[in-house]
Structure 1
Amino acid sequence: MGKHSSRRARGTASIVAGAVIALGGGAVVVHGLTGGAAADRPASAAGTPPHRTPSNSASTPGSGSATSTHSTSPVAKADVLPRPTGHSSEVPVANPAGAACIPRSLTVASVGISGERVVPMGTNAQGQIYPPAHTTMWYDRSTQPGQPGISVIAGHVTYDGPDNFYNLRNVPVGAAVTVTCTNNKIVSLRVTHKESILKTKLTTDQRIWGGSATPVVTLVTCDIASPMVAGHHLNNYVVWTRPA
């Protein structure tokens, strides 16, 4: 998610580079969360989407016993940053009153994220989590926020300038995070951990793509402080949150 050109804030959408996840018999690759020019934009963004039945931006953190029905086990691969040719698409998801949570907006007040619209999205044609510019996405095959399991919300750090998650790496542990659902439920969370992770390692990190007996919501972007190769950051930045 952060490819830089001559401008400091120019980025390429890449979160997870080359993450392959076996999911219900299918393989899913998740990539990049920095966006630059379309011609050279790599797919290493938000993560690899595993489940719902079951990466760059989605993975399930194994923060507890892997009992979630949404658990996914990414199968490693990737020494190179994938190059997405298209974005993830919005997925209509019903969320009637009394149901669980389909995210509608995200607030992380400590870093200036206030009521940011969240869009349920799947993968692109290449099986990658790769949201359009200025779009925060909830990976629709990850756990719904507030439910046992790991939910993945991803966004770019830069995309021809600062993007939605530009300041995410500055969030302090203990900070409040709020997810508002389409059925008006509120999921209140606190940041418990944050970490810069090599994209090639993120693809198999069970703390993002594994199961959890308790609710976990991960926020994933690229780490603009990490080294770059061919205009793309080598690391993703992940923030873990749990119910407040």
Structure 2
Amino acid sequence: MPQIRDRRAAGLAVLLAVLGAASTAMGLQSEAATPAPVAAEPARQEPSKNTTSIRPAPTTPGTRPATATGGAASDDSVPAPPPASATPRKAAPGSLARSEPVKLAISRIGLDTAVSRLGLRRDGTLEVPPLTADAPAGWYRHSPTPGEPGAAVIIGHVDSAREGPAVFFRLREVRLGDPITVRRKNGTVATFEVYRVATYPKHAFPTDEVYGATDRPELRLITCGGSFDRSRGSYRDNVVVYASLRK
């Protein structure tokens, strides 16, 4: 992404925080879902102890190094990121025209879900997916659409104590090379291939690494994971699946 990347990265970080915090009220995996990191006092990035990759994630030259942010949201009211000016991006070879995602499927884990649209509330705070186990995954509309250059971001709950597994309950089972298909509003299908699966501690979530600009179409699927911290009522980690558009 161009200069608007900072807005998207900040917005996505707080969106994850809202998602986790709201799910905590519901009680995920017998307790709650982990609030993902929000922008706070910078912390030294800690590399994931559970990362599988077949190649490094491509980034646009000149972007700043990945940084970690920490902190957990205490409620579901999070200010929106400040507006940033957009700079037009040149379409990468093989990229698709803009079209919003409507369906997401991963055959390995038996996932076939609708995709909702996540944006901003009237008060300027970020929306979150519904607090039900059968809620679909949500695409953050300030990220690229799947198939456009840049990292399209789709987020989902992991599970619910009241209703059981949620949309991304089995996301951690995805493997390198797995295909991910995204049906788009204009009827086209974007097929991505998983090249990395990582688990990051919430206190050291690498915002730029996950949300940073890329020259080609990419996809990020994100949910909560890792062990459950009963004292905090949340998961300790985030699971992130990285995928690139198949040629």
Q: Which TM bucket (shorter chain)?
A: 0.5 to 0.7
2:52 equivalent in structure 1: none
Equivalent residue for 2:116, pick from 111, 114, 119: 119
Secondary structure of 1:200's counterpart equals helix
Deviation at 1:37, TM superposition (A): 3.3
Q: 2:38 touches 2:73 (CA, 8 Å); kept in 1?
A: no
How do residues 54-65 of structure 1 correspond to structure 2 at under 5 angstroms?
Answer: 63-65=57-59
Deviation at 1:127, TM superposition (A): 4.2
How do residues 10-159 of structure 1 correspond to structure 2 at under 5 angstroms?
Answer: 22-23=6-7, 28=11, 29-30=14-15, 31=17, 32-33=19-20, 35-37=23-25, 44-45=35-36, 63-66=57-60, 77-79=69-71, 81-85=72-76, 99-114=97-112, 116-123=113-120, 127-128=125-126, 130-133=128-131, 134-159=135-160
Deviation at 1:198, TM superposition (A): 1.2
Q: Which has the larger radius of gyration?
A: 2
Deviation at 1:131, TM superposition (A): 1.7
Q: 1:118 touches 1:138 (CA, 8 Å); kept in 2?
A: yes
Q: Distance in 2 between matches of 1:99 and 1:220?
A: 24
Deviation at 1:210, TM superposition (A): 0.8
**Unaligned segments of structure 2, at least 5 residues:** 40-55, 79-95
Look up the equivalent residue of 1:23 and give its one-letter code: R
Equivalent residue for 2:212, pick from 190, 207, 210: 210
Q: Distance in 2 between matches of 1:46 and 1:175?
A: 27
Q: Distance in 2 between matches of 1:196 and 1:128?
A: 24
Deviation at 1:65, TM superposition (A): 3.2
1:179 equivalent in structure 2: 182
Secondary structure of 1:23's counterpart equals helix
Task: Give the superposed CA RMSD.
Answer: 3.5
Higher fraction of helix: 2
2:46 equivalent in structure 1: none
Look up the equivalent residue of 1:168 and give its one-letter code: L
Cα distance 1:215–1:240, how it changes in 2: closer, same or farther (>3 A)?
same
Cα distance 1:47–1:241, how it changes in 2: closer, same or farther (>3 A)?
farther
2:165 counterpart of 1:162: yes
2:195 counterpart of 1:192: yes
User: Structure 1-normalised TM-score?
Assistant: 0.67
Once the two structures are superposed, residues 176-219 of structure 1 have per-residue CA deviations (whole angstroms, 9 ceiling, x without a partner) of 100000111100011111011012222x4322121000111000
Q: 2:59 touches 2:214 (CA, 8 Å); kept in 1?
A: yes
Secondary structure of 1:197's counterpart equals strand
Cα distance 1:189–1:132, how it changes in 2: closer, same or farther (>3 A)?
same
Deviation at 1:64, TM superposition (A): 2.2
Q: 1:129 touches 1:139 (CA, 8 Å); kept in 2?
A: no
Q: 1:45 touches 1:130 (CA, 8 Å); kept in 2?
A: no
Deviation at 1:66, TM superposition (A): 2.3
Secondary structure of 2:203's counterpart equals helix
How many residues in Structure 1 have an aligned counterpart in Structure 2?
194
Once the two structures are superposed, residues 127-147 of structure 1 have per-residue CA deviations (whole angstroms, 9 ceiling, x without a partner) of 456322323100000111111
Q: What percentage of residue pairs aligned between the two structures are identical? A: 24
